[in-house]
Structure 1
Amino acid sequence: MTQLGPAVGPAATPIVSVKPLVLPAPGRGADLHVRVSAPTTGGNLPVILLAHGYGSSLDGYGPLADHWAAQGFVVVQPTHLDSRTLGLAPDDPRARRFWRLRVEDMTRVLDHLDELAAAVPGLAERGIDHGRIAAAGHSFGGQTAGILLGLRVLPPAGTGEDLSDPRVSAGVLLATAGTGGDDLTPFAREHFPYLNPDFTHLTAPALVVAGDRDQSALSVRGPDWSADPYLLGPGPKSLLTLFGAEHSLGGIPGYEAAETTDEHPGRVALLRRLTTAYLRSALDPADPAWPTEVAQLAASRDPLGRVESK
């Protein structure tokens, strides 16, 4: 198992993780399975909805989910219909609506947060803070999180409608697709028509994370494609560019995940530290965690990334 180094900031606490929690989902074709991870201590806890990348599941992203939970967040991970664990046929009629069904999954989770918390031993008594909810996602999951924050999907897959949720006040978009149209390969335009985002309404605070070696097979552009949510989305936004990082950003999809092509424990440790700090400050402006971490990174003699903000 990859060793990612000690936690920073407040001391990490033991966590409890419960799966699968099942939410009935009429019309979806399958009930929604969810994993909830939380620290074993603390109360009035903030919440992170974590959307997995295409094909993953509630079992993915341990390097992030475990860390965030140990740092005081309740992390909620649904398994979306595109998950390999569900084995849907490529020609399943729901496939072209996966992007929209993912958003409905997240809305269903938000509607049942208290029910999910009650299924985790001791969590309901300690409480979750409905006023501090963030969305995070990697790759396709970044678009899912972005939609909750104001991103809109244009034709041919969407209509540009607003599917944002006011219950979600901040987010982290990890290696997320940029603009569509001519920036996509012919294959992507044919098979992933929902990769046509409009970022102009992405007004909620968000940290965008991009690898400077993330050359997507879906775009004719270079690694700067994943910076589009920052460049084209209105502020307040921050962009963390990770040096040498490819699409897995050093190894966030899972411990020893086969799709990690750029394993780098130090890079993952930095990403965990900065995303934790960002979410703390974004959900509680009085918390100095984010500016403190940004200053430390800027002062580093051999930094693994850089941050810019607007």
Structure 2
Amino acid sequence: MSERLPALRVTDPAAFGRVAVLMGGDTSEREVSLDSGGNVLAALRSRGVDAQGVDGVPALLDALQAGRFDRVFNILHGGVGENGVLQGLLAALRVPYTGSDVLGCALTLDKIRTKQVWLSEGLPTPRYERLPRGADLRAAAQRLGLPVFVKPSSEGSSVGVFRVLAESDLAPAIAFAASYDGELLMEQMVRGDELTVGILGDVALPSIRIVPAGEWYDYHAKYVAEDTQYLCPGLEGEDEAALRALALRAFRAAACSGWGRVDVMRDRERGLQLIEINTAPGMTSHSLVPKAAGELGCDYAELCWRVLEQTL
């Protein structure tokens, strides 16, 4: 294998001290976070790290005030785990933590603002409409042209995502919008390959091309189905190099650091199109960053170690 990750910075688990693995919380992604967190906790312990699971930010704050932990492995998906609130709290308490800082997290949890930054940097992303509460979804769809996706600007794990192929498909999205408090994003649908690139430090990991058995990669295909195909690397040669370079540039443009995942589509006519960034990627049995790291000879436990190393 020609590619290698840099050598580990430390080999003694005592260097990390007492580690809180933050998971769960009260967002729509709670169950996925608990799954990810349980796996991370077991992996760190398997390598001798003094790690304990903590469910949610209030419990973490109590534990930190009691002096029980030295650093935090954040695997809290969505909400305060990824919107900069947790990161600001930990920075104020001078507690090291995994992943991006306040700015990178706050920016990238908001898909609309992320796209605005990418566009200002001349990076490719599908055309979109910002839908504040009360917006006319039918009018927005007419302006963009069908097909489109409608999704919350600040949720993850395919929660509240609607695929609109025809005007008759708008009804469920309109009903959801009526009960949803936040902004929605309507985005031109990209027809082509679905790709994702994990970022670990300064390295863009081998891409993964996702081939769901159904028509699209929804929540079921991500976390339940056993017949979704994950092809790694997703592309070859110069195409793969260009994809990974774009993902790393997009990650940095959005002020992200540490580790994360950049989702990209390859349109048949427009080429690569940036979709979104995840600053606390899933670490479940179906998750993609561990699969990509494995292509470079980095198993799950080593990946967790490498992410935690970034807090030193």
Q: Same fold by TM (over 0.5)?
A: no
* Bigger relative CO (Cα 8 Å, ≥ 6 apart): 2
TM-score range, shorter chain: 0.3 to 0.5
Structure of greater Rg: 2
TM-score normalised by structure 1 residue count:
0.38
Which of the pair is proportionally richer in helix?
A: 2
